[in-house]
Amino acid sequence: MFRLLLAFVALASAAFVWWSGQMLPAQVASRFDSQGVVVSWMSRETFIGLMLLLASVMPTVTALLQMRNSRLSRTRIPNPEHWYAEPRRNATVAYLEAHAAVFATALSVFMCFVFWRVVAAHLGSPQAPVLDKQLFLLGLGVFVAFAVGWTVLRHQHFRRIA
């Protein structure tokens, strides 16, 4: 089931990047300074390809590797001898796989958000795009808060021995 979710998220993020990437000019602002001003440029095709990797492939591969490691009992969790022992092993692996899929989904959504902010900067001013710093930082803050919460939740789940 979690692999199906990963496939859906990978396809949806790839479709989003491909579709919205068609709105970009031939030369895309690919890096911005702390004020949101363009620092470097790259071709649209290269930028879309890079963002396809970052928004679709990277989260999926990361989650699949985490899932593989959890099935092989290689995931670092508190009290692994307890959680990977029978009869808790299947539930532990299922929890870790779900957790990996949720994080991969959040990472993919964040990378699509970053991509959309670049597209929006170009739509606002194609010749001199400026990244909306406040909105970007808000999105980054939400993702970082999620990642911290995700880590704490996972640690707390395995910290208590039931």
CA proximity to 101, closest of 142, 80, 145, 70 = 70
What pLDDT is recorded for position 162?
62
**Which pTM was predicted?**
0.91
Query: Are residues 94 and 52 in contact, defined by beta-carbon separation less than 8 angstroms?
Result: no
CA 33 – CA 121 distance, rounded (Å): 13
Which of 49, 9, 11 minimizes the C-alpha distance to 30? 49
First to last CA, the chain: 26
Predicted confidence pLDDT, tens digits, the chain (162 residues): 788 999 999 999 999 999 999 999 999 998 999 888 889 999 999 999 999 999 999 999 999 999 999 999 999 999 899 999 999 999 999 999 999 999 999 999 999 999 999 999 999 887 889 889 999 999 999 999 999 999 999 999 998 886
Residue 125 confidence (pLDDT): 85
pLDDT of residue 4: 92
What's the confidence (pLDDT) of residue 108? 98
What are the C-alpha distances in Å from 38 to residues 32, 52, 111?
4, 21, 19
Q: Are 63 and 4 contacting, i.e. CB atoms less than 8 angstroms apart?
A: no
For residue 125, give the 3-state DSSP assignment: coil
Domain ranges of the chain: 2-159
Q: Would you say 129 and 28 are in contact if contact means Cβ atoms under 8 Å apart?
A: no
- The CA distance from 104 to 5, in Å, is 10
Residue count (the chain)? 162
